[in-house]
Amino acid sequence: MIEQTISEVAPASSELGAAHLCLYGHFYQPPREDPFSGLIPSEPGAAPYDNFNAKITAECYRPNAMAGNFDEISFDLGPTLAAWLEQAHPDVYQRIIAADQRHMQRYGVGNALAQAYNHTILPLATRRDKLTQILWGLSDFRHRYGHPAHGMWLAETAVDMETLDILAQCGVTYTVLAPWQAATPIDPTEPYIIPLQAGRTMTVFFYNAPLSGGVSFDWNTTNDANIFAASYLPGHLVHDKRVAGEAQLILIATDGELYGHHKPWRDQFLTHLVRYGAPGYGFEICSLERYMALHPATREADLHVPSAWSCAHGVARWERGCDCTPGDSSWKGALRHALVQLAQQGDQLFEQYTSEVLHDPWEARNDYLSLRNGWQSPESFWARHGKEGYPPLNAQVARRTLQLLEAQYYQQYSFTSCGFFFEDLDRIEPRNNIAFARRAISLTWQALSVDLQRDFLHNLQVARSGRTPLTGADLYKQLPVVEQRLLPPL
């Protein structure tokens, strides 16, 4: 029925030239687990579900997976969400992974992209942390999908040149940015080459801003997939390319949770758009990687750096606060200062104490995720990174080294972007970042009996909620009680 209806109104496909459409979904949830217990505390706002991961799975991840939507789009599934989904809903997880594998079999390229591991705002991270975030994200992807990633989604599309250059050095060939991140005029119906150091390059797809915004924020836009294909899409094609029959691409990039969670039933809109509406109207549904293989970028662009898709002030939203969130957001700078100071102290101790047994502590950190998650054996890890091979001669020093690597792991979690995204400090997201930092403090205390808590609390006192009388130090003290021996005395 639907196909008939479209064929009556649709133009001959040649009228659109070689028009392609890509729907991109960024699927992501921050880690919600208590870092001491590993359990997700009950989230009353998610009722009748136990927590938001469960609620969003029921509303979005499951219906989109069951409808086969992941086969037709380009997407990234954030590592912290993928890890949870794999345990809690393995059937949904497997369908998402299988979609990329089918795409690979059909077209020789995948349709999934990797994500920087902890959804960290990479322009605000040190070079060393950028590299770890990117390598962990690529390692996580390879483990899950069974092949290396070529694309990487950057948290909040936050970018600077150093980030792109590290991406290129790690084998990533493309990413997605907002059109206003380009500093030179661009035509968003084609990908662009960003020149980097030493002849390296990165391909960037700039998404269509009005359509992506409409799908995200305007309820009426997504009422009917046929109307969307017939009335909204064609006007965004470049006329000359259309007439010449040249390939062009409309890219609609949004948070994936939009399809069913932020907007109920929009999973069905997505199904109809990619199966019937857009193809019926003459658009070819195409993943980013396939498009790049068929129609490589030919023109160069420059970027505004640092920049991101959800802040009009560089990356101030996550650094020191800006007008993108209402009220006094100066707590963001104070919270970041406290976390950066803690990380600097943690890094110094990590390097000092682990270099006794590790050839290069930072290379070992980059490889730690696979050890921690059991993708690499302890024998292999120590053979690669240990000065003494496996087993390490001094068991106590080996244990201390693993505790300090684990402290680094949670230190990375403490920079999750969500902690800085919203308007106030007294929310679950900043609390979680502080909880991850406390876990790093605990591991350092257990390993070395060095107290990093005192300075951290001192710095956190400066971060003040605008909504409640609480400071960051108050939030720290409200975290769940743990065994006394696990933390320095307050």
Q: Quick one: which segment of 93-101, 305-313, 353-361, 416-424 binds Zn ion (CB under 5 A)? A: 305-313
Binding residue count for Zn ion, defined by CB under 5 A: 5
Of the pair 101, 310, the CB lying nearest Zn ion is at 310
Q: Quick one: which segment of 160-168, 311-319, 381-389, 442-450 binds Zn ion (CB under 5 A)? A: 311-319
Q: Is 423 in the site for Zn ion (CB under 5 A)?
A: no
Write down the least CB distance from residue 25 to Zn ion, Å: 24
Contacts of 285 (CB under 8 A, 6+ apart): 20, 21, 22, 23, 72, 274, 278, 279
Q: Is 324 in the site for Zn ion (CB under 5 A)?
A: yes
Of the pair 102, 304, the CB lying nearest Zn ion is at 304
Pick from 227, 322, 428, 450: which binds Zn ion (CB under 5 A)?
322
Q: Is 482 in the site for Zn ion (CB under 5 A)?
A: no
Query: 394-416 burial string, b = 16+ CB within 10 Å, else e?
Result: eeeebebbbbbbbbbbbbbbbbb
Pick from 32, 317, 336, 431: which binds Zn ion (CB under 5 A)?
317
Residues across the chain: 490
Q: Quick one: which segment of 57-65, 307-315, 331-339, 418-426 binds Zn ion (CB under 5 A)? A: 307-315
Torsions phi, psi for 248 (to 5 deg): -150, 160
Q: Is 332 in the site for Zn ion (CB under 5 A)?
A: no
The residue assigned the tokens 């991406």 is 167
Write down the least CB distance from residue 341 to Zn ion, Å: 24
Cross-strand pairs, 247: 18
Task: Report CA-CA distances (Å) from 140 to 135, 226, 279, 295.
Answer: 8, 38, 34, 28
Write down the least CB distance from residue 179 to Zn ion, Å: 17
Sign of CA dihedral 7, 11, 14, 17: negative
Distance CA 231, CA 221 (A): 10
DSSP summary character for residue 311: B
Of the pair 322, 486, the CB lying nearest Zn ion is at 322
For 369-428, where are the E strands, in sequence order? none
Write down the least CB distance from residue 315 to Zn ion, Å: 8
Q: Is 311 in the site for Zn ion (CB under 5 A)?
A: yes
Contacts of 227 (CB under 8 A, 6+ apart): none
Pick from 102, 142, 143, 313: which binds Zn ion (CB under 5 A)?
313
Of the pair 319, 367, the CB lying nearest Zn ion is at 319
Binding site for Zn ion (CB under 5 A): 311, 313, 317, 322, 324
